[in-house]
A = this chain, B = another copy of it.
Amino acid sequence: MPESKKNIPMEEVAGNGLLHRRVFLSQGAALISAGSFNLLTARPASAQTTVDIPPWMKVPGAGMSGYGSRAAHEDYIQRNPVSALGTTGSGGSRTPLQSLEGMITPSALHFERHHSGIPDINPDDHRLLIHGMVDRPLIFTMDALSRYPMVSRIHFIECSGNSRVGFNIEPALGSCGDLHGLVSCSEWTGVSLAILLEEAGIDPRAQWVLAEGADAAVMSRSVPVEKIMDDALLALYQNGERLRPDNGYPIRLLLPGYEGNISVKWLRRIKVTAEPTMTRDETSKYTDLRQDGKSLIFTFPMEVKSVITSPSPGLSMSGSGLYEISGLAWSGSGKIIAVEVSADGGRSWARAALSEPVLSKAMTRFRMAWRWNGGDAVIKSRAIDESGAIQPSRDQLLEEKGTKFNYHYNGIQSWRVASDGEVVNVYG
């Protein structure tokens, strides 16, 4: 066995108990002082200790199944559907970020944002039409699409309205998922839309495409051709299996890093155009009202952002001692290169460990060890992406964007940990 390396002291790297990230960077050697954790967590046992035989070891267990399900004990972990008055399918449901780990979001908990519910599409009857400024308009069946070369990539999707409660004058109550759960991350597999457009032959004067969904709202958005040719996917699979209906079955347009709404679900039509179509969904909604009363339109990329998922409201702390601070960071502009964490309200910061693989336009899990002294503390995280962009404080964001903005909130999230272990949303 490896040489023992006990009693290496845990190094404090920023104020109020943040510890060096080496705790997470290797496990081949002993990285913490012996007894550091167990004094507060595990129960010492004697060498003769045995554990009672629990009832589930005394009878044969349940049988296998064709398609598994989660433990009943975990059923309380749910998205939280909130619909417009008088509808069941116009609204959103948020990913319970505080209950998840790693970077992949289970498809069953991927956030939803629908404009007229989830259409019940028969894939055998579904068609994708590519037309407009092309040499050869084409219609694809699902079988035809499945013949094309595919690519697989891990990407987040974030609704541009995510975290909009950050614009509120007072800090909103709710869990991390309630406040920030309109973002999720999956492995997507599908056909590069660039290949299909090349097949159709794009008129060189074309600058935009219209993407239209097959829901009753006919949700549609305009996308620059440049983005399509860069990295647009027609996603057919999510996390290994076919898309779920609430994620656009059988085809979702996936525009990595762009605001989620433009990754049109239930895609039925791509029309190549010279100008943006100015659809209802990009004029009445999804524009950014500035302080001067004018609106920005077509603000596509989601900016660099992070949030601590644990501890967070609803996950109360049980006494002083060692904890892991865990969270998610992402950017529509590429890879996350660093996440800094503060446990003293932003006076001092230290770099968190990033979980590999760190991928472009994907969630990145960050982790930090924290020795909580049991007193009041404000914890926060800020992410930096490969473009050099740094997640702004709420004050910086409001100063830059104004108070009428209703989308693209990416301000730093502060959680106050009270001495009784309760965690709440605070500003500053």
**Pair A150/B367 contact, Cβ less than 8 Å:** yes
A112 adjacent to chain B (CB < 8 Å): yes
A54 adjacent to chain B (CB < 8 Å): yes
**Pair B246/A136 contact, Cβ less than 8 Å:** no
Chain A contacts with B in 187-240, Cβ cutoff 8 A: 187-189, 192, 194-196, 198-202, 204, 206-207, 214-216, 218, 225-226, 229-231, 236-237, 239-240
Q: Given known contacts A44-B138, A45-B129, A245-B62, is B68 in contact with A240 (CB within 8 Å)?
A: no
Question: A193 to B258, alpha carbons, bound, how many Å?
Answer: 39
**Pair A63/B45 contact, Cβ less than 8 Å:** no
* Contact bitstring A78-116, B, C-beta under 8 A = 1, else 0: 111101000111111100000111111111111010101
A355 adjacent to chain B (CB < 8 Å): yes
**Pair A131/B45 contact, Cβ less than 8 Å:** yes
Contact of A60 among B92, B116, B244 (CB under 8 A): B116
- Number of A residues with CB within 8 Å of any CB on chain B: 155
Q: Which of A141-149, A295-303, A381-389 contacts B (4 or more CB under 8 A)?
A: A141-149
What chain B residues lie within 8 Å of A62 (beta carbons)?
A: 88-89, 117-118, 120, 245
Chain A contacts with B in 225-271, Cβ cutoff 8 A: 225-226, 229-231, 236-237, 239-242, 244-246, 249-250, 268-269
Question: A201 to B45, alpha carbons, bound, how many Å?
Answer: 13
Contact of A231 among B27, B40, B109, B269 (CB under 8 A): B27
**Pair A45/B139 contact, Cβ less than 8 Å:** yes
Which residue of the partner chain B has the closest CB to A67?
B108
Which residue of the partner chain B has the closest CB to A214?
B57
**Pair B37/A66 contact, Cβ less than 8 Å:** no
Question: A283 to B202, alpha carbons, bound, how many Å?
Answer: 65
Q: Given known contacts A49-B139, A216-B58, A249-B71, is B226 in contact with A2 (CB within 8 Å)?
A: yes
* Contact bitstring A121-145, B, C-beta under 8 A = 1, else 0: 1110111010100001111110111
**Pair A198/B237 contact, Cβ less than 8 Å:** no
26 contacts between A and B (CB under 8 A): A29-B194, A35-B136, A35-B199, A45-B139, A50-B129, A57-B119, A63-B89, A64-B81, A64-B91, A64-B114, A65-B93, A68-B79, A68-B244, A70-B244, A71-B242, A71-B244, A102-B152, A106-B107, A109-B240, A147-B321, A147-B324, A149-B369, A150-B326, A151-B355, A154-B357, A239-B239
